[in-house]
Every structure is written in structure tokens, then in C-alpha cells.
Structure 1
Amino acid sequence: MLSELQYPNDLAHVINYKICISESFIRLFTNYGPCQPVIPYPKNVEGRLFQKKWYERNSWLEYSPQKDAMFCFSCRLFLNEEKYKGRVAWKSEGISRWRTALKKIKEHASSESYMIGMVRWKGFQSQALDIALETANQEVQAARDKEKQRKREILCRLISITLYLARQCFPFRGDQESSISENRGNFLELVEMFGKYDSVVKLHLDVIKEKQEILKRSQVSLLSNRTQNDLIKALAISVRRVILEEIHKSKIFSILIDETSDVSHTEQVSFVVRYVHDLKIKERFIQVFNVQSTTGEALEKEVISMLNTNNLNIDDMRGQGYDGAANMSGIYNGLQSRLQRQNPKACTQPKSSISRKCKIKYSVCNLFQFV
């Protein structure tokens, strides 16, 4: 009702409509602030009138157009105790003798009641500001939590896709991954297929496309090749943690090592661990690492480093498996003889390279079954 009036914060409305001064009323009028209209003020019988310049240094001062009188905003709202009810001049009756208005303003500004009212007013404003900031912070936090949950749901689906491709030994990327490509690779194509049936993925893809059209640049999509690599690395860490926990429980283990070169002619060594867990013999691929030299001494350093990196004790090793190359199986300077000098219990068991490579491929393909 007050909001429909010309001056909703005019004190005259409170008197005319007999409005009770409640906390909600104080909050409403605090939002409005003092009634300080700039209008053609009427003259009194002495030919004097209210001056708008009096507002400038007196933020608490207000003028009622209906009563043609000035009041103290803080006193009328915040001094409602019994001991202040007799002080009605600045609260309800108003000051309208303009000849002595400046003197009255100065006297009131130095009075105890004025100071108490101002302190309460500023305190109420501070409290209202704290509530507003807290509400805003809650809204911001709620939006952040919602966005975090949305991204978590997206990541869950991307992890499922990554696990599927890893278990099936399928390549992730395609030769051409642009939006106009007919085949963008297994990972992106599976994401697109998920988007047809999954509302979470569909919304994510739609948001990415919309932002790209507006900003004309690539957006954080969680679909880049870097994200794919990060997902694979994160899952590999998780898988390795499970494998190492099983090895530590079984206490003893054997190692299977094979050396080969990739298409860039970089020498690489595959590291596989064989152990017994829950009465089952398991062979688990741990890592492939590059080597600068394939001599027995160089390979020994790499294997010791690999064991230390994975917190495996060479004293717990009970077997070694290599191909017939001299640098691996040599009885004097081969890798197997060097490791046996450190642990005589690490017996050597020759195996054919072809059989072991098949086992390594099988181990890699089934690596992600632990997640």
C-alpha cells in the first residue's frame, strides 16, 4: 500500500494509517531511507519555508510534505522505549518553526537521543548488509556446488568411456578431430553417441557449442587430448596403487622384463610383475620406460630405480624372466646375474620372447579392470 503513494516513507502515512513500528516495518523504511523530497516548499505565516540545503550535512533529517514539518529519521524508527516516548518533537509532532530551524537542528545533532538513534540505525544497516552478503554468498556457493556437481557427472561419464577404450585396447584419437570431420576418433565419437541418449552429456555439448559460437574461440570442454591423457594417467595411478597393494600383501614376487624399440627407434623396456594373490597367480604390467643404453649395467640401474619408485624391495624378489639376449640373461654381466648378486634368491626362468609379449599385451588390455 505504501509503495503506491507518492512519498511512501513520509512519516504522515505512519500516523494516518496507524502503522505499528515492527522489525519488518523498520527494515522496509531503512531501505527507503529518510524522506527528503525536493519540492516547492510552502511558506508559513512568517513567510519562511524549509530549505533543501539542510539535507546536505544532515543525512538523518527528513521532511514530511503532508505535515510541512521536519523529523529525525533515526529517532522515529529506533527510539521506541518507554523513556523516549515523551520526546515527540523530532519523532511524531515535527519541527515547523523555520525561523529557529537551524538552531533546533544543531541542538538535536548534539543530543543523547540523536546519538543513540544514529548508532542503532548504523548498526541495523550493518546487520542488514551482513545478511545480504551472507545470502549472496550462499547463492554463489550454491551455484558453484551445482556447477561442481555437473562437472563431476561429466567426468564420471568420460571416465567410463576411457575405461571402455582401455579395456578393449582401442585407440583414443583420430587423424582429424575437428567438428567437420566425419570420424573424430573413438573417444570423441563415443562422447557424441552418449549425447544422443544422456541428458547430462547433451547439455554439456550444447553449452560448449553455444559458447564457441558466441566467443568465437575454443572453450574448456574436458574433451581435449590433454584431458584424455590426464584421465588415462589418473586411472593408471589408481590401477598401479591396487596392484602394488596386492604385491605388498603377497610379500614375494618375480619380474618379467623385455626390451624392444618403438617406431622412432627409441629403446624401451617393459616391466611386468608376477605374484600370487588370493591363491591366484597374477601377471601385471607396471610400466614401459625408455633407456639410453641396453647394457646389463644400465638395465640394472633402471630396474633398481623402477623397484624403488614402486616401493618394491629387491630382497622380496624370487624370480626373473628374460629373453635369451646376452645383456639380459648373460651369466657374467647380464641383467639376471647382476640382480642375483644383490639377491641370490632371485632365480632366473628363461621364457620365449613371443610368449611374454603376448602376456604383456594381455596384461595391458586388462589393466583397467581394477577400476
Structure 2
Amino acid sequence: MKRFLIPNKLKSNDVTENVSSVLDPSKIYFPCTSTTVVESIKPDSKQTNSDELLKLNVLDLSSTCDESAVQPVINFPRTVISGKHRCFQSSWYSKYPWLEYSITLNAVFCYYCRHFPPHLTVSQSHTEKDALINRGYSDWKNISNLTKKHENTSSHKNAVIKYNSWLSTKKTGSVSSQINQQVKDQIINNRETLTTASNLTLRKIVKEVNLGSNIFSLIVDEARDESKIEQMSVCIRYVYDSKIKERFLGFIELNELNAQALCNGLILFLNNTGLDIGKCVSQSYDGASVMSGEFSSVQTKIRTLAKNPCPYIHCHAHRLNLVLVNVTQNVQEVGEIIGLLEAVFAFQSVSTLRHHAFFQETNFKIPQHCDTRWVSKYKSIQFFKTHFGGILKVLYTFKESSKKREAAEAKGLILQFAKFEVIVILVCLNEILNIVNCLSINLQSSTLNIGQCTMLIKATKKQISDLREEKKFYELYEQSLIIAQNANVSTPSNNDVSSNRMSQGSSRMTDYYITSTTGKRHVICVEMNRRFDENGEFYAVLGVLDQTSKEFLDCETLCKFAKTFPFYRSDEFIIKLKHQCALGKTLFSSSSGLFELLNEVQNYKCFCRKKLFNNEKSENIPQINYESTMKSSRLNDLTLLSIEREISGQFMDNPSAVIDEFAVMKKRRLEFLL
């Protein structure tokens, strides 16, 4: 340590007034946390004036507020002032903590005022300001007076306040960062509240399953959200309080799309929810091979884990959509008509003037098509059939437009649109889709069971089949003639039929249209029968559970079906079921409540879904802009609370359950008491 300090016994006359000859900056001890670099002054530095020193970057003082005041403890150099040798005293550090000492300049500075310099006022001179800020002060004789005076100045006090404010800001952050932190904390609390309400809603659903039927049907659909994340939406269907319940459970984010990954994610989700896969008695997905394949798909893996027949039911809403898609692909005229309607929609969409012209004529907006929603196509075809003349009138108006491109587009649309064949196909499609739309809407009912659905499909097939009758076509043909006459579209006559067509057996014009449209009407009948094949053992069992069926409560079939499920296999259950089947055939209609086992088995048909309505709804509700930046957990919670308002709405009326759950999630400074 001695080599860092000058001996105390050094006599005053041995001390030279030349700072550089006494001090070696490399041998100085600094008892401060800040790192300082001391630039030594060479022996010829006496020739360096103060202005040149000020141009130097004095590195032996604190450079930022993050560094503490530099207060070295050394044998300070002495200078002759008023005939006496005087020097700086280290004791002044404790008396005035804001002092900084520069070895290079042998002068003191004000730490606070250097980093937070005041603005000059009229009463202040440059000398006073520069003394403790820029040039330093080295008049050791009068330093006490100066420090006392400086400490009481408003500029120094303001600098101290600014420094303390800076320290506070450093600890707690700036006002904007504090506000941001407060917002972040609020967001965390809000999401915790959402999660709490979501968890309580899920618990309520699981409780209903356990207290009700104790078995459920699984409904899953895949989709990609706005942020391009693959996910599955999961719903279940069960009976509670003698009512069919269909509930949305949540989303599963997918990293892989193979069958094993999908199955693992589904099982993990059900386990976390509190549902036993062994209680799953049926499953409904779309027709993708990874979901519905016969050997290594999700449905086969779920069936193996469930350890019961757990039949797979292809979503009937998807089946119906596939029927219509195939009709469009296989019947060229239908595809061309739909393309023509899309072209008219595109023509009016590119200009507000065109849009206004069509709206003024029809008083309605032209419906937009959607490839996956045939309801939109039905609305579009119905619109064009109803407003055929008005649309054609507007197109004729734009045909005379001064804009060559607009006129050319309108003329091209008129050439394709103003045909009797177009009207006939529109009328036929409108009739077919009107029937199909009724089925589509009913398939989206959450209270529809598989037996009722089967009856609806059979009725729809019958209606479509009836369209092939000649009498029905004459009705549609007459409608087409009326529309054509009102729109000034020429109607065909027998002379318009070519000799080639006449030779094929069309003696009249109506016969020609009957022949040309029969194939189109036949295609949809074939597709309906192919997609909705109701034969098989599974549908035979459903007939046994249907009161309108001739096989209602057939004992042998029903007992055989019950034995396929582990929870119905007991001998005691089968014996009681046989007795109830025998009595139920005559008494069930008036005394159904007496046969609790029959009711339990019959509930099975209520679980079997013919659609994925809630899954479709869960994929469509959150399709908004902020979904691309929304976390999956928050999206899941919001969707669950939105869809299951029947349960989550109870927490709005009585939030005590949410508050109690929120309070125990983690330790909080506030006590949540009601």
C-alpha cells in the first residue's frame, strides 16, 4: 500500500509546486467504484494554459451519472496561496459529498452540477458557473465559503433534485415505461381472469358429463387460423338432465399433422380436461384420410384406446358439401353458370358506381360466393334467378359506357348471361339447392340425433328424386319462360332445335330441355346415395332405438349392441335390459320413464353426431384481424367463453366462483373477499 501513497512525513518544503513531478498517476489509490483513467501531465505541462486543458477530455472525473463521484484520497499537491502552502483536504468529501477532485487539474468540481448543469440567469456569471462545472476550483483558501455558497444556490438544489429523480427513474423506470409495465401487469391479470373463467367453464362441462350420461361423443375438426397455425377444435356431445348437450372444449395447437401426433395431442387434451377416453362412444371428423383412414388413422387409434366399438361418423355437413362439389365438377353447365355468376359479382365489385347501379336496380347487394359454404351459393343463385331481368338491364346500361374496357366487359357478360339455357339451369339449381339447404340447416342443429338425421336425409333423397319426374320439370320450365319473357330474352321454338338433336328423339323444344337437364338432376341423386349410404350394422342398431322403426326394441339386436361396450357388459345389466325390452314394446310410449336402462342405452343415439357444427363455429368466430398476433391460450379462452355463453354467462351474474379461483392461483397482495 505504501507505494500508492506519499509518506505522511513528507515535509512541505520537499513538495514541489509542479504537480507532475510529485504525482505518478499510475501509483494513485482511488477509493471509489468508478473506473477512472488518469492522464499524466508531462514536466513541460506548465506551458499548457487552462484553455488547452479544457480542450482535453478530463478522464479522471465521472463521465456519466452511472459513475459515482471521483474522490481520490492522496497526498494532495500544495500550492502557494497568499504566501502559504495550501492543498485540498480529503475531509471535505464527507462534509460536501458532491465534490469531485481532478488530479489532472488539481481542482474540485460539483458532481451534481456537472451532470445536470443549470441554465445561466441574469444574476449568475460565467465565472461562477464555470468554477465547479467546467474549469474547476482550486482556491483552497476560500473553498469553504464557495462550497457553502454553492450548496445553497437554487441551481445546485435543482441539480440534486434532478439527480435524485434520475435515480428513481433508474429504479422504477421512466413514466412511459412505468405505464407500459402497468399495462403489462393489467394484461397478465386480465388473462389470468380469462383463464380462471375458462377453467371453471370446462369443469362445469365435465361435471355435467359425469352426472349425466357419463359417456360422450367426440367431435374434432382441423383448421388453420389467421396466424397460419394448424389447430384442432374439439367438441363433445352428451346427455344431461334428459337434454342433448353439445359443448366446445378448446383448441389444440398442432406441430405435426400425422395420425399419431394428432391422436397424442387429442388424448393429452382430454386428460388435461378431465375426460376419460374410455367413455368415448363415437367420433366424428371430416373425411381426410389422416382422420378417417381404415388402418392407421386417428379414428382407428382412438377406437383402440377407447376399448369399445366407438364408430367413426363422417361429418354429414361435409358429406353434403362434397355432394355439391362433385355435381359442380361433373356437370359442366353447372360449373360454367357458377363461374358466370362470380364474373358478374367481380364486375360490380371493382367500381363503386357499378355497385351502386346494381343496388339501385335490385335493392340488394349481390351475394358473394364461398367455395366451402354452399349456403352462399344458394343465396347467390336465388338472387340471380329473382333479379335476372334487373341485372341484365344494368349490364345493358354499362354496355353503352364511354369507357371501352367497361363496355367490352359488359358486352361479354350479356352474351353469356342473356340466354334461355342460363335461366333454365338457374331455376333447376335454385330448386335443388333449396331442398339441400333445408337439410344443411337442420344438420347444424345441436339437438338433432342420428336417428332424426337419417330420416331427414331419406326425405331429402326422395325430394331430389322427384325432381326427375317430367311433371316437375314442366313446372320449372314454365317458371323459366316467365323469367325470360320479363327480361326480354328470346325463348326457343321447335325450329331452333338442330336436325341432329331432333334425330335423337326431341320432337318438341320442351322435350329437348327435359332430356338435357335429366342428367344433371340424376347426378345429384347418385351423389346423395353414394355419400349417404345408411346400410350397415351401425344403422341397424339405430333402427332398434327408433320408436318409429319396425325393429324398435328388438331384444337380440339391442343386447348384442350393449355387450360391445365395457360399461354395458355385466350379466345383471343384460338380464334387466331383456326384461325391459319385452315390456317396453307395449308400454314405452306412455311409461317411458319406468325403463331407466332402456333410456340409458337409447341415449347412445343422441351422442352420435352427423355434423361438426360447433367445430365449424369455433373456427369462424375468431376470424378477426388481431388473431394473427393473439396467443393460442388467450384465443382458446375467449372462444370457449364466447361459444359456451350458457355456462360462462352464469359467472357474470355471480362472479364469486371466478374470484375464489383467481385468489388461490397464486399469492397476491390483495385479499379477495365477498
Q: Same fold (TM over 0.5)?
A: no
| TM-score with structure 1 setting the length | 0.39
Higher relative contact order (CA 8 A, sep 6+): 2
* Larger helix fraction of residues: 2
| TM-score with structure 2 setting the length | 0.24
